[in-house]
């Protein structure tokens, strides 16, 4: 029987003096929206601690949209840190929602956000703390429906057995529709199975229990999903066609605690058509849709007034690609002059960042600038379709240093298809040249403040990208190349940071595996794996022991290329980009051929616009 709604804050209050950061677990923040008396209640959970989850823009959007629906109340939840989780288990206190301190199991539905692969064990930690059976097949009529969505659902198979319904694509219209249908069927007395079958008919809704995984000859190494009971053969992502009518300021909650990203965030555009072949977001967030300059400026002004932040971030996959970015920045600088409020852009495109842009981004405060060449050599940048040159990097960094910046971070990837040692050395040479350029431009008296750093992540083959068939570079080889990079940087003032090869190995396993990976996830969690995205918590040995128990070779999963003719575990999930286009791009990569951005030239045939009946929406003219 469903647990009754009740406020159980009194159960966790005695635990607060015994844990790190008790502010993670208290309510009464300014700007909360939920209504516990609503007829239908859903708890949206971000699978990490409060200060990481609260700034998430996807959760903020859905929280705002759901609470605007008549008769629906959305509360939030986060995963308690290990100290609090252990105390809650010891005291017999279940996972509670933040606003009303209600047992999560008492809600009609639980929504789990999946921001990245390393969050998967926290999904199980969430369900277990809530007292909800881990596997969907074990849940009864009185258990809440468990939904999932987010950036990492384009290969949902590794965690499909734990979820009742997975929402593919953008959720502003999709999730309220699913909740309304659930409420209507619940009130009509429909069974759990009947509800899930009906939800599968809502476009973009993947119900794993309605798909059988076929294995054997011709089915690929991890099998492929076949629909049952008339479920859709292909689940196409949902897209908000009119991005301009969505709320540009969904952020309503002002926290008590210091957040990881403690600022106002305004999403200025959605999607990217640059076509980087390693980038899942660039493929799955298509098409490109922009907000108007008037809407952006108005949103910044009203959002700052509502929240009181002293920094605003103009967010997107590539903000300087906005067709009116320069004029937006110019207008914001005028509006915010003498206020001390900083306007930041998370990452700058090298080929769209010149002297004029540098001056406009500068505003009144100059933090650090981030550029992403991704690869050290032009040959490798052509393979990955980065479409930027060393001249672009020199022009952008020169403009930044001349405009007064002193800190510059360069992002690269290691282990990309076709990479050689020469490409690794080229990363070091680019970083050294950038530092020397800074010393050339910056006045002698200010050179002590110069900072150039390199951040190098490990390539992860991702579903729905042209490199989805590729293998990951073996982890021992990654470690060798990381040492080569460190020893190739000549200037000691250039700092080098790189991602852990062990973590990257597991990311690739979770990114490429099928439903056969689910037992591995559960076995690792039962061995204590949780908060795997945190360096101090991650322990590969737990996963290796779990893999041995499950008969899985982690390195074989991550480091074996897929046959181009084999079905892939995620073939039944579509981002709208056709598999034929991805295959064509893969072959162009092998030939070192680049493909232009369709918003700057003509259609490149990815298939998104006709498949989803949407198109790129630019509010200005590309310069």
State how far the alpha carbon of 489 is from the alpha carbons of 396, 480, 548, 566, in Å. 21, 15, 39, 42
Flag whether 89 is in a domain: yes
How confident is the model over 387-399, as pLDDT tens digits? 999 999 898 889 8
State how far the alpha carbon of 539 is from the alpha carbons of 15, 24, 474, 548, in Å. 27, 25, 18, 15
pLDDT band, very low/low/confident/very high, at 382 (cuts 50, 70, 90): very high
The tally of CA atoms less than 13 A away on the side-chain side of residue 121 is 26
Q: Residue 215 has which token pair?
A: 């294995």
Contacts from 357-361 at CB under 8 Å and sequence distance 24+?
357/320, 357/325, 357/326, 357/329, 357/399, 358/399, 358/400, 358/402, 358/403, 358/405, 359/403, 360/326, 360/329, 360/330, 360/333, 361/329, 361/403
β-pairing, 368-374 with 407-414?
parallel
Contact 502, 533 (CB under 8 A): no
Give CA–CA dist 83/85, Å, rounded. Answer: 6
Give CA–CA dist 332/310, Å, rounded. Answer: 13
Flag whether 592 is in a domain: no
Contact 410, 430 (CB under 8 A): yes
Residue 131: give its domain's CATH number.
Answer: 3.40.50.280
Give the lowest-confidence range in 121-125, 378-382, 616-620.
Answer: 616-620
Residues in CB range of 58: below 8 A, 6 or more apart? 113, 115, 149, 150, 151, 171
The tally of CA atoms less than 13 A away on the side-chain side of residue 216 is 2
Q: Of how many residues is the chain composed?
A: 623
Give CA–CA dist 601/603, Å, rounded. Answer: 7
Give CA–CA dist 21/49, Å, rounded. Answer: 10
pLDDT greater at residue 401 or residue 198: 198
Q: What is the pLDDT of residue 364?
A: 52
Element (H, E) at 411: strand 407-414
Q: Which of 452, 494, 437, 435 is nearest to 368 (CA)?
A: 452
Flag whether 145 is in a domain: yes
Flag whether 252 is in a domain: no
Q: What is the pLDDT of residue 258?
A: 81
Alpha helices in 232-292 (DSSP H): 280-284
pLDDT band, very low/low/confident/very high, at 27 (cuts 50, 70, 90): confident
Give CA–CA dist 286/307, Å, rounded. Answer: 30
pLDDT band, very low/low/confident/very high, at 138 (cuts 50, 70, 90): very high
Flag whether 464 is in a domain: no
Number of domains in the chain: 1
DSSP characters for 331-392?
Answer: HHHHHTTTTTPEEE-S-B-GGG--HHHHHHHHTT---EEEEEEESSSHHHHHHTT----HHH
- When pLDDT is averaged across residues 198-208 and rounded to a whole number, the result is 98
- When pLDDT is averaged across residues 554-567 and rounded to a whole number, the result is 96
Flag whether 84 is in a domain: yes
Flag whether 173 is in a domain: yes
Q: Please give the mean pLDDT across all residues of the chain.
A: 94
β-pairing, 342-344 with 311-315?
parallel
Strand partners, 381: none
Burial class (CB in 10 A: 0-12, 13-18, 19+), 91: exposed
- When pLDDT is averaged across residues 118-131 and rounded to a whole number, the result is 98
Peptide bond into 287 cis (omega under 30): yes
pLDDT band, very low/low/confident/very high, at 370 (cuts 50, 70, 90): confident
Q: Which domain holds residue 101?
A: 9-236
pLDDT greater at residue 358 or residue 280: 280
Q: How many other C-beta atoms are found inside a 10 Å radius of the C-beta of residue 340?
A: 11
Q: How far apart are the first and last CA of the chain?
A: 61
How confident is the model over 216-250, as pLDDT tens digits? 999 999 999 999 989 999 999 999 989 999 999 99
pLDDT band, very low/low/confident/very high, at 403 (cuts 50, 70, 90): confident
Flag whether 557 is in a domain: no
DSSP characters for 489-506?
Answer: ---TTEEEEE--HHHHHH
- When pLDDT is averaged across residues 39-67 and rounded to a whole number, the result is 96
The tally of CA atoms less than 13 A away on the side-chain side of residue 289 is 19
Q: Which of 413, 452, 457 is nearest to 433 (CA)?
A: 452
Alpha-carbon 246 to chain mean position: 20
């Amino acid at each position: 029987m469903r647990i009754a709604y009740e406020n159980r804050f009194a159960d966790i209050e005695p635990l607060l003096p015994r844990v790190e950061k008790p502010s993670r677990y208290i309510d009464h923040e300014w700007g909360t929206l939920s209504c516990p008396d609503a007829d239908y209640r859903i708890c949206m959970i971000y699978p990490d601690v409060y200060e990481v989850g609260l700034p998430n823009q996807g959760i903020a959007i859905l929280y705002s949209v759901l609470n605007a629906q008549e008769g629906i109340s959305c509360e939030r939840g986060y995963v308690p840190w290990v100290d609090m989780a252990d105390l809650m288990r010891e005291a017999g206190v279940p996972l509670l929602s933040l606003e009303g301190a209600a047992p999560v199991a008492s809600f009609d539905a639980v929504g789990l956000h999946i921001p990245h692969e390393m969050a998967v064990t926290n999904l199980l930690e969430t369900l277990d703390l809530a007292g909800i059976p881990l596997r969907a097949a074990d849940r009864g009529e009185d258990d809440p429906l468990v939904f999932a969505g987010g950036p990492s659902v384009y290969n949902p198979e590794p965690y499909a057995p734990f979820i009742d319904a997975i929402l593919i694509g953008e959720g502003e219209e999709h999730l309220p529709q699913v909740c309304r249908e659930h409420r209507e069927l619940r009130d009509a007395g429909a069974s759990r199975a009947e509800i899930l079958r009906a939800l599968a008919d809502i476009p973009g809704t993947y119900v794993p229990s309605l798909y059988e995984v076929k294995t054997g000859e011709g089915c690929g190494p991890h099998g492929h999903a076949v629909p049952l009971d008339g479920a859709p053969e292909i689940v196409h992502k949902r897209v908000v066609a009119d991005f301009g009518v969505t709320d540009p300021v969904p952020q309503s909650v002002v926290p008590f605690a210091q957040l990881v990203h403690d600022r106002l965030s305004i999403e200025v555009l959605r999607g990217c058509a640059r076509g980087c072949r390693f980038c899942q977001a660039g493929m799955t967030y298509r098409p490109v849709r922009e907000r108007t300059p008037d809407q952006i400026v108005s949103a910044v002004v009203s959002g700052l007034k509502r929240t009181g932040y002293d920094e605003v971030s103009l967010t997107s996959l590539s903000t300087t690609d906005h067709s009116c970015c320069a004029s937006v920045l110019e207008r914001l600088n005028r509006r915010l002059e003498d206020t001390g409020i900083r306007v930041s852009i998370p990452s700058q495109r090298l080929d769209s960042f010149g002297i004029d842009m540098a001056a406009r981004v500068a505003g009144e405060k100059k933090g650090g600038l981030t550029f992403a060449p991704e690869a050290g050599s032009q040959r490798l940048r052509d393979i990955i379709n980065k479409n930027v040159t060393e001249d672009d990097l020199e022009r952008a960094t020169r403009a930044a240093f001349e405009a007064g910046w002193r800190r510059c971070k360069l992002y690269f990837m290691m282990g990309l298809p076709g990479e050689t040692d020469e490409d690794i050395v080229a990363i070091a040479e680019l970083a050294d040249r950038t530092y020397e350029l800074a010393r050339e431009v910056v006045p002698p008296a200010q050179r002590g403040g110069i900072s150039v750093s390199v951040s190098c992540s490990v390539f992860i083959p991702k579903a729905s990208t042209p490199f989805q068939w590729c293998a990951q570079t073996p982890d021992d080889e990654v470690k060798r190349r990381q040492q080569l990079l460190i020893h190739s940087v000549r200037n000691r003032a250039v700092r080098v940071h790189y991602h852990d090869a062990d973590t990257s190995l597991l990311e690739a396993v979770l990114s490429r595996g099928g439903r056969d990976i689910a037992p591995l996830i559960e076995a690792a969690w039962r061995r204590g794996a949780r908060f795997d995205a945190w360096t101090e918590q991650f322990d590969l040995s737990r996963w290796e022991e779990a893999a041995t128990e499950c008969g899985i070779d982690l390195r074989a999963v991550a480091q074996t290329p897929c046959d181009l003719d084999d079905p892939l575990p995620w073939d039944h999930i579509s981002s709208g980009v056709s598999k034929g286009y991805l295959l064509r791009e893969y072959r162009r990569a092998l030939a070192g051929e680049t493909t232009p951005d369709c918003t700057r030239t003509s259609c490149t045939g990815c298939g998104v616009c006709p498949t989803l009946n949407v198109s790129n929406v630019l509010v200005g003219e590309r310069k």
